[in-house]
Structures are given as structure tokens and as C-alpha cells.
């Protein structure tokens, strides 16, 4: 699917960021987790500090050396102070921080806005003030604050605000990184609490993970800026090839993401080192204007064009080839919103200089999964008016890219509207979060971890700003449950889902398991909305719920449906799944139908056991009669195997 967005690139998104002077440019550094996990100790941190200085990472701008999870124990002392893991850090955290500072680096630490960290160590919920005080006493400069093991009942905003306030109260400048994976829409509140906010799950060592993150981060990147950076996760992914590594780093730099490395600094190729320390690319990331590049052209699975303004009137452009073959990508001055007769174009990776001719340029050949990163100068940017932005169409893009098989269609039926689950207007709460990398979805992303997917925590999704009262058919486009891994077990046949309209009357549906967590299935039900602006909340406080791609609402102009306020009801015998409704009769029928095959297998198993038992009993009875005849007496008396042996011998 192709989408083109024309944006006023010189106008940063206005938010009320923290005005404490910290993180005026995106933080740069290194973190222990991706490479070492819980296998950390004081010696490793000192050695890493030495490497960051000796190999030039500090000179390139990487100033933070951050401890992640597992520096702490599982306990607190009698005064409530957290106890450090004495085996890994026998001299305490302050000694390590002092060594890091002696090398000219900043020192960072980790905790979670819950009762335990993600690795099960002691966390900070309920102890924010004492922990923040200890961090200040240990000369900590950076806190990554995770989102594990918090239990339901306290919002993410409240939990993160508690720690943010506690850090401020210490009087020490501590950069506060909010790591809640994009749950509860942190772009709506994190700018007043912290200096960076995560927008997605952790990045993992794969190209697919990079693409998943981009599907979501591209929607929220504009909410980042000086002092409140949108954070898609770490860089330095050790599993990528060279072209993918260059693309990863280019996009993170252009998006003004924090550049926190997670790779092995002691063993990397010279090419990867050159990528991570490229001064021209890093200068884009650290540009004083602080406006993130945004994706202005996206052809799913094919190509991207990202562009954003830089200080001094320059512009950065990143062209990405997602295809499997080498290709050239053209762009125009209108696409990148940059005009002039003598525009100079510098390739930031090769250093080559070009001239843009007649408002159009064709890139050099770009390898599969590779990119070209360009800096344009000697031009001017004229933000587009609302009227022009509203008339943007695929015809503004060069015809060389347009292909007949690109689907640019949207729902055009005025009585039928599709609402994307991952849309920013919606609220994703608890453990639920937006996740990209979904080819079967209507827009490459979905919301996962809905329901009670963790013993202590659940997740929910609220569709907001659904306009228009009346009777509707609601179509749920759902997928199998997914959280940190695929939910359920062999006996899972359905995903329960509770629906509430405007926080009013509720009902449940029990959606059939698909058996393929990459596939999308539909289920339709009746719905009555009684307000001009409505909300629909999906959750399951008792068990796993499905992941959600989207919902579709189709209005009925003439309806005899139930008109009670806020009523939600299944159609009972929907053609997609006639047994999904919330009724005891349907529950009983589900138990029969869903487990009929298992019952048949069980019955066959019982029959097989019975048949084998019958055969064995037959053989035993024959053997018994044979022995009886040999002994010659109905009373076997002292009969033993030895007797049988003697008898057989005498007969022979």
C-alpha cells in the first residue's frame, strides 16, 4: 500500500516539554542488556568504559554507559534501601560510577515502575523517593525506567510521574528514560515527566524487528523533540548485515532517536565500527534544531522516503529500499519540500556531491535493505498549506515508482468506516501495546496483549472518537493472542473478549482460535451507539484476549434492533461463528463442538486400550487353563513358576 504525506517540515510539533536543560539533543551511549543480559559485574563496566574511550566512541558522542537490569538483589534493608548484588558489585554502585566518571563518561542505571524488574529483581514502585535519593548519592546521571510487574490498578502515567518527581527532588540532573513500550500513549504525557519515551517493544536481533518498530514509530516520531525524544529502541543490532546496519543507523539518526548502542564493543567489524561512528550521520542526529525526520512516502515492502529539516536551512533525506533487488529511487523537490535552482546534494555515507536538476533527482543504485542518506543545502523549504496537503495523491510521486499491483484503496462506503487498532487516537493500556510487522493487517500493525496475559497485569484497547449514533454492525478483525510470546496452550480453543460502550453495558464474545498468529479473522455483531462521540473498550479481566487489527462499523439506516442505551450484543448465530455469543446455551455448545475431536480421540484411545486389554486377557486365560491342566487339580495350592518348570521337565 502506498501512502504520501505532505508535511510542514520546518514546524516542530508543539508539546510542553521539560524545561530543565537536559537532553537538548538525543542521548548517546551504550547499554548492557542486549549483549550481556543479567551477566554483568563491576569488572565488565570498567572494561567497557576503557573501550568506549580508547576506541573513540566517547569522541564520537557516546557519553552514557548504562547498567541495565540485574545490578540489584531481590531485597531491601530495614530502612527500605535497595540492596545491590554484592557478588557482581562488591564495592557497590558508587565505586563503579566514580570509575566511569573518571573516564569522562556519564553513568546510567536501571529500574522498573513495578514491584519487580523484568528479570525479577527488586524494583521501585512504592520506593521511588528512597531509590531516587540513592541514585543521586551514587552520582547516577541516567535512569532507564521499565514497565514490568506493576499489577493492575495504577496507571502508567502515575507510576512514572512518581519517579520523575522523586528524581527532581534530589536536585541532581538525571536524564529520565521512560521505557513503557508505547503503552498508555506516552506521547500524550511523557514530555512533562521524562526526557525520552519508548514507542514499541524491545528491539531484537533481526531485520524484521527493525521493520516492526518502524510501522509504529513512524506514526509518533513527530512527538519527539528537544528534551522529550521518541525512542524506538537501541541500535547496534549484531544480527544485521552491513546494508541493514547502515539503514538502521541512518533512520535512527534522522528520526532523532536516542543512539544507545546494545552490541558487543569488544568484537565488531571495522565496517560496523565505521557505521556507528560516522560523524556526518551522527551530526544529523545531534542537530541543534532537533526536529525528527518524518516518513513522507511509504510503499509497504518496497520503499520509504524520510525527510526532515536541519539547522542552517538544510534538509536530510533518507531513501530506503525494502525490496529484495537493487534499485534506484527518484524524488522531487515537492516530495521533500525543498526548493531552489542550485540545490547541492551530499551523500553522507560516500561523501559524494551532486546537483539536483530541474527539481528532481534519481538516487544511485541502492542494495536490497539498503539506503541512501542525503543532505540537501542551498535551498529553501515552503511548508504546504492545508488545502494542498488535503489534495495530496499518488500522482505527485514520480511515475517510475507507481506499479499496477500497489493497492492504494481505502474504504469508500460512507456508511462503513474502518478504525485501526493501533491508531494514535486510541488508548492502549496496561500490558497492551502497538506492534508492527503484520502483513495481513490493514495497515501493517496491530495491538497485542489484550486481556489477562500476565498473572498480575492485563491489557486493554479503547477505540476513541467513534462518531455517530445509531445501529451498526460491528466487525472485529482479530488475530490469535500474542504478548511476549504466543498465548494459550493445546486446550485453548477461543479468546474471550469483553466489550464496553462508553464505559456502560458490557458483553462478552468468545472468538475461535485461528491457529496462525499471523492471520486475521473476522467476527460480526450488533451494536447500538447512543452518543455523537463514542468509545469502545476491548479487554478481558479473566483470561487471554485476541490481538486486534481493526474494527469496521457499518451503519443501519432502518433497523429494528434493540435500542437500549449502550447495548452491545452478538448476532447469536453469526455466519462467521454461530457459537461466539455470551449465553449459557452457547457456552455449553462450545464445550461440545470445540472439544469434539479431542473427545473422539479420547474415545478411540479408550477403545484401543480396551481392545489391547481384551487380547491380553485372552492370552492370560489360555495360559491359566494350560497351567491348570498341567497341575491336574482345580486347587493350584502351592503352585509356582518353579512347579511349572519341573512339570514341563518331567513331561519332556
DSSP string, 135-147: HHHTT--EEEEE-
**pLDDT value at residue 408:** 33
Strands 294-299 and 416-420: unpaired
Is residue 221 within 8 A of residue 292, CB to CB? The reply is yes
Closest C-alpha to 25, from 57, 52, 63? 63
Instruction: Give the torsion sign (CA, 288, 292, 297, 302).
Output: positive
Q: How far apart are CA 578 and CA 596, in angstroms?
A: 16
Is residue 359 within 8 A of residue 331, CB to CB? The reply is no
Return the number of other C-beta atoms located less than 10 Å from residue 386's C-beta: 8
With the CA atoms of 226, 227, 230 and 235 taken in that order, what torsion angle do they form, in degrees rounded to the nearest 10?
A: 90
What is the DSSP secondary structure assignment for residue 22, as one 8-state letter?
-
Confidence label for 153 from pLDDT (cuts 50, 70 and 90): confident
Closest C-alpha to 379, from 336, 320, 349, 330? 336
Taking the model in full, what pTM does it have? 0.84
- Asked whether residue 636 carries a pLDDT value surpassing 90, the answer given is no
- Asked whether residue 652 carries a pLDDT value surpassing 60, the answer given is no
How far, rounded to the nearest angstrom, does the alpha carbon of residue 361 sit from its chain's CA centroid?
A: 35
227 φ/ψ sector (left φ>0, alpha ψ -120 to 50, else beta): left
List for the chain the helix, strand, coil content (%; round to 5). 30, 25, 45
Q: Summarize pLDDT for 292-342 with one digit per residue, the tens.
A: 999 999 999 999 999 999 999 999 999 999 999 999 999 999 999 999 999
Identify which of 20-34, 274-288, 461-475, 519-533 has the greatest average pLDDT.
Answer: 274-288
Closest C-alpha to 189, from 7, 419, 180, 149? 180
Residues identified as active-site: 146, 202
Helix axes 596-631, 584-594, angle to 10 degrees: 50
Q: How far apart are CA 363 and CA 343, in angstroms?
A: 15
Confidence label for 586 from pLDDT (cuts 50, 70 and 90): confident
Q: How far apart are CA 306 and CA 310, in angstroms?
A: 13
Identify which of 220-234, 464-478, 522-536, 616-630 has the greatest average pLDDT.
Answer: 220-234
- Asked whether residue 569 carries a pLDDT value surpassing 90, the answer given is no
Mean pLDDT of 386-399: 40
Closest C-alpha to 330, from 308, 352, 299? 299
The residues, any chain, with a CB within 8 Å of residue 326's CB and separated by 6 or more, are 365, 366, 367, 368
> Which three-class secondary structure state does DSSP give residue 95?
helix
Return the number of other C-beta atoms located less than 10 Å from residue 240's C-beta: 22
- Asked whether residue 387 carries a pLDDT value surpassing 60, the answer given is no
Answer with the residue of higher pLDDT: 457 or 390. 457
The residues, any chain, with a CB within 8 Å of residue 115's CB and separated by 6 or more, are 123, 125, 126, 149, 150, 151
H or E element, residue 470:
strand 470-479
- Asked whether residue 646 carries a pLDDT value surpassing 70, the answer given is no
Mean pLDDT of 78-82: 95
Longest Cα separation, the chain: 119
**pLDDT value at residue 405:** 36
Amino acid at each position: 500500500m502506498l501512502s504520501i504525506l505532505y508535511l510542514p517540515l520546518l514546524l516542530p510539533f508543539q508539546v510542553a516539554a521539560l524545561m530543565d536543560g537536559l537532553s537538548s539533543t538525543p542521548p548517546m551511549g551504550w547499554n548492557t542488556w542486549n549483549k550481556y543480559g543479567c551477566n554483568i559485574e563491576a569488572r565488565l563496566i570498567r572494561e567497557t568504559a576503557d573501550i568506549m574511550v580508547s576506541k573513540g566512541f566517547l569522541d564520537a558522542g557516546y557519553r552514557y554507559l548504562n547498567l541495565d537490569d540485574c545490578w540489584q538483589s531481590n531485597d531491601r534493608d530495614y530502612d527500605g534501601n535497595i540492596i545491590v548484588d554484592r557478588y557482581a558489585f562488591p564495592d557497590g554502585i558508587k565505586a563503579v560510577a566514580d570509575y566511569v566518571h573518571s573516564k569522562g563518561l556519564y553513568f546510567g542505571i536501571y529500574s522498573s515502575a513495578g514491584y519487580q524488574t523484568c528479570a525479577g529483581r527488586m524494583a521501585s514502585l512504592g520506593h521511588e523517593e528512597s531509590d531516587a535519593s540513592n541514585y543521586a548519592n551514587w552520582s547516577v546521571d541516567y535512569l532507564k525506567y521499565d514497565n514490568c510487574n506493576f499489577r493492575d490498578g495504577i496507571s502508567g502515567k502515575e507510576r512514572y510521574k512518581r519517579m520523575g518527581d522523586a528524581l527532581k527532588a534530589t536536585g541532581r540532573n538525571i536524564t529520565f528514560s521512560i521505557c513503557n513500550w508505547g503503552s498508555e500513549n506516552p506521547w500524550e504525557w511523557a514530555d512533562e515527566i521524562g526526557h525520552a519515551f519508548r514507542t514499541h517493544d524491545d528491539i531484537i536481533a533481526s531485520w524484521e524487528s527493525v521493520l516492526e518498530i518502524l510501522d509504529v514509530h513512524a506514526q509518533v516520531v513527530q512527538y519527539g523533540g528537544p528534551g522529550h525524544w521518541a525512542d524506538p529502541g537501541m541500535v547496534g543490532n549484531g544480527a544485521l548485515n552491513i546494508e541493514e546496519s547502515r539503514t538502521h543507523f541512518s533512520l535512527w539518526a534522522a528520526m532523532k532517536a536516542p543512539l544507545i548502542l546494545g552490541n558487543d564493543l569488544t568484537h565488531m567489524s571495522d565496517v560496523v565500527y565505521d557505521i556507528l561512528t560516522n560523524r556526518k550521520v551522527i551530526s544529523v542526529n545531534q542537530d541543534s534544531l532537533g526536529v525528527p525526520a518524518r516518513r513522507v512516502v511509504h510503499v509497504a515492502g518496497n520503499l520509504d522516503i524520510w525527510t526532515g529539516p536541519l539547522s542552517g536551512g538544510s534538509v536530510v533525506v533518507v531513501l530506503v529500499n525494502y525490496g529484495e533487488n537493487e534499485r534506484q529511487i527518484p524524488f522531487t523537490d515537492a516530495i521533500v519540500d525543498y526548493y531552489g535552482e542550485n540545490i547541492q546534494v551530499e551523500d553522507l555515507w560516500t561523501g559524494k556531491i551532486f546537483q539536483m536538476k530541474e527539481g528532481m533527482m534519481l538516487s544511485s543504485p541502492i542494495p536490497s535493505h539498503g539506503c541512501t542518506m542525503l543532505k540537501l543545502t542551498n535551498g529553501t523549504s515552503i511548508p504546504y498549506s492545508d488545502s494542498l496537503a488535503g489534495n495530496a495523491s499518488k500522482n505527485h510521486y514520480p511515475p517510475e515508482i507507481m506499479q499496477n499491483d500497489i493497492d492504494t484503496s481505502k474504504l469508500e462506503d460512507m456508511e462503513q468506516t474502518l478504525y485501526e487498532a493501533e491508531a494514535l487516537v486510541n488508548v492502549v493500556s496496561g500490558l497492551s501495546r502497538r506492534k508492527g510487522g503484520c502483513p495481513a493487517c490493514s495497515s501493517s500493525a496491530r495491538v497485542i496483549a489484550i486481556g489477562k496475559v500476565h498473572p498480575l497485569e492485563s491489557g486493554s484497547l479503547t477505540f476513541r472518537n467513534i462518531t455517530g449514533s445509531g445501529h451498526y454492525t460491528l466487525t472485529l478483525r482479530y488475530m490469535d493472542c500474542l504478548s511476549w510470546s504466543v498465548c494459550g496452550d493445546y486446550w485453548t480453543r477461543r479468546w474471550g473478549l469483553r466489550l464496553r460502550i462508553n464505559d456502560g453495558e458490557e458483553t462478552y464474545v468468545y472468538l475461535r482460535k485461528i491457529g496462525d498468529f499471523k492471520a486475521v479473522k473476522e467476527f460480526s455483531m450488533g451494536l447500538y451507539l447512543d452518543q455523537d462521540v463514542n468509545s469502545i473498550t476491548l479487554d478481558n479481566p479473566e483470561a487471554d484476549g485476541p490481538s486486534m487489527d481493526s474494527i469496521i462499523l457499518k451503519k443501519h439506516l432502518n433497523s429494528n434492533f434493540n435500542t437500549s442505551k449502550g447495548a452491545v450484543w452478538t448476532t447469536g448465530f453469526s455466519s462467521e461463528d454461530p457459537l461466539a455469543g455470551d449465553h449459557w446455551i452457547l457456552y455449553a455448545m462450545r464445550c461440545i463442538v470445540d472439544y469434539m475431536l479431542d473427545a473422539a480421540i479420547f474415545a478411540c484411545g479408550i477403545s484401543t486400550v480396551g481392545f489391547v486389554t481384551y487380547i491380553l486377557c485372552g492370552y492370560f486365560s489360555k495360559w491359566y487353563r494350560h497351567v491348570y491342566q498341567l497341575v491336574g487339580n482345580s486347587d493350584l495350592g502351592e503352585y509356582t513358576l518353579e512347579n511349572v518348570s519341573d512339570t514341563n521337565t518331567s513331561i519332556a
